[in-house]
Amino acid sequence: MSLLNVPTRFGLVALLLSLIVLSLFGSLVAADRALAKADRESVVLDARYAALVLERELRRRAAELGHSDTIPSGSLEFRADTTRRGISLTVTRESGGKGTVSVVGFLRGDDLLAALRDSAFPRSFLAIRAAGVPIAMQGSPVSNAALTSSVALALAGDRMDVEVAHPASSGVLRTTLWVLGVVGIMVLLLGLVRERRHALQLAGRTAELERLYEEVARSNRMKSEFLANVSHELRTPLNAVVGFVEMLREGVYGELTPRQALPVDRIAASATHLRHLVDRLLDIAKIAAGRLEIHAEPLVLRPFVLNVASKMESLVSERGLALSIGVGPSLPRIRTDQTHLRQILINLIGNAVKYTSSGGIHVRARLTGNGVTPDAGEATELDIGPPPDEQRQWVALQVSDTGVGIARTDWERIFDEFEQVNAGARTDSARRGTGLGLAISRRLARLLGGDLTVVSEVGKGSVFTVWLPLDAPETAI
């Protein structure tokens, strides 16, 4: 999968910042409109309130003139008196069966303002106009930016208006809100620009990493192919060398003198060792290239282990070690590749012999996993650890020794290619090895559906466990 197709946190952060900027701007606009609307509605309400107070005051004065508690609709009329800056009230009423009588009174504009002050009217600019002429005014005229509202009184006679104006009370709040909002938006935009720059840098680095990854993968494939081809080409002449050396040792070309026998034996040992190294390189190249074939077939473990141990017995005896086998005949059959399992077992026994100077090597197998109760007599001095999957049943094939042991920090490192712990001197090639045996063995074990693990303690020895699945499929792996 391409590295560029993987979403990064930088793209998500950019999207989040963009959404926050848009949301903040929208909130600022909505809040500003709400405050402006509140100011407009406030001045309209003030004007309506003033008009109601004045209308109530006029009716009260008219009722006093007419000596009546109520004034019928249409019996009250007012006229503007610009000379005296007031209004004249005319009240028409019935007069004891003699017809109607009109009573006229005068009301100053200041009296109307006093009525508004008594009604706790808000302190703002207010003007009362009768027939378009101002008859009373409170406060100082405000600027053109002030909010203004005018309401006409519903009375007969000349038109009478009440005009209210006051500056927007939310002006400072709206200005502060916009300043803070714009500062916040600018900060977010700077963060967005910075994040975008980082995203572009990341995209460039990702593209470079992808290119390097492809180059490394291509180089790795070329290396694997080269190793496979070279190893394959080396096997043919090496096999010829080994074959002719064996013919010399067997006397096909005449008996060897004692002086010739020793060099020929050394040639045979070196050629055999070199062939083993080439075989391991070929195996690791095949595994890396995915060209190693697995052929699974039913296998009875006890005779298989005895056969491998008999081939390794001479090597064990040369070091003065004891080899014991603990594989019971009651173990169920497993389905696996015999050739690769034999290679794993030979590698493990060979390593145990290499790093054990005294004591012995023990090969045993037991059934473990889901539903299996371990026998008390099968306990070892070193715990082998849990199986790869505790929900399945496994055959644990173990090779334990009494050698030098491995430190806990090196348990995983020894399975890396060309890695060795406690390697011998460079002149001691038999002890030093190549560092490929355990790497190949673990890869083969995993190709067989299991794994290879180790539990060890410095000075007490090691236990290598090959985990073989009991319920492997019946078809070839």
Helix (H) or strand (E) holding 143: none
Domain boundaries, the chain: 3-169, 173-259, 293-469
> 74 is written with which tokens?
């249409």
Other Cβ atoms within 10 Å of 143 Cβ, number: 7
What tens-digit pLDDT sequence spans the chain (477 residues)? 444 444 455 567 667 777 777 887 888 888 878 877 877 788 788 888 888 888 787 777 777 776 565 555 556 677 777 778 877 777 776 665 555 656 677 778 777 777 777 665 655 777 777 777 777 777 776 665 567 777 787 677 777 787 777 766 666 677 777 788 788 778 877 877 887 787 788 888 888 888 888 888 888 777 777 777 776 677 778 788 888 888 888 888 888 888 888 888 888 888 887 877 777 777 777 777 666 778 889 999 999 999 998 888 888 888 889 999 999 888 899 999 998 999 899 989 988 998 888 888 999 998 887 766 665 445 444 567 778 887 888 999 999 999 898 998 888 888 887 777 655 544 444 455 567 788 888 989 998 999 999 999 888 889 999 999 987 544 333
Stated length of the chain: 477
Q: Which of 205-212's residues contact partners 24+ apart within 8 Å by CB, and which partners?
A: 206/3, 206/4, 206/6, 206/8, 207/3, 207/4, 209/3, 210/2, 210/3, 210/4
Q: In what order do the strands lie in the sheet with 100-108?
A: 100-108, 86-94, 76-81, 156-157
Question: pLDDT at position 293, please?
Answer: 79
The answer to whether residues 198 and 10 touch, using CB atoms and an 8 Å cutoff, is yes
β-pairing, 360-369 vs 322-327, is parallel
Q: What is the DSSP letter of 465?
A: E
Question: pLDDT at position 361, please?
Answer: 92
- Per the rule left: phi > 0, alpha: psi between -120 and 50, beta: everything else, 45 is alpha
Tokens 């005294």 -> residue:
358
Q: Which CATH class is domain 293-469?
A: alpha beta
Question: Degrees (nearest 5) of the Cα angle 141, 146, 152?
Answer: 75
Q: Where are the alpha helices (DSSP H) in 250-290?
A: 258-289
Cα 338 to Cα 66, 168, 398, 441, 451: the distances in Å are 128, 94, 16, 13, 16
